[in-house]
Structure 1
Amino acid sequence: DDRLPGKGPGLGNGNFVLGEIELDIAPAANPKKFSRVKFSTARASFSQKSYEVAKAIDGNPGGPNAGWAISPEVGKNQTAIFSIADPVQLEGGSILRFTLKQPYDDTHTLGKFRLSVTTQKGPLPFALPGDLKEALAVQKDQRNKAQLDAITKYFRENDSTLKSLDQKLAEARKPLPIDPKLVELRGLLTALEKKPSVDPRHDRWLNDLSLSKKQLAQRRLTGAQDLTWALINTSAFLFNH
Structure 2
Amino acid sequence: MTTPAPPKMAAQPPSPSSMLYLIYQKDGDGALSYEVDDGAVATWWFGHSFDLGGKHWYTGFAYNTPEVYGPKDENAVPAPGSKVNITAATLFKDSAGSEKEWTIDGAYPTIGEFGAYERAGEIDKTRKIESRETGDGRMVLAVPVTFFANGVDSASYEMFLFDSADLQLEANAGRQRWTYIGNIAAGEDNDADCGQEPGDRACYQTKGTLSFGTPGDGGLPTIRIAMSGTGTEAASGVTEYRYDTAGKQYQPAP
TM over 0.5: no
Q: Which has the higher helix share?
A: 1
TM-score, normalised relative to structure 2:
0.23
TM-score, normalised relative to structure 1:
0.23
Which protein shows a greater Rg?
A: 1
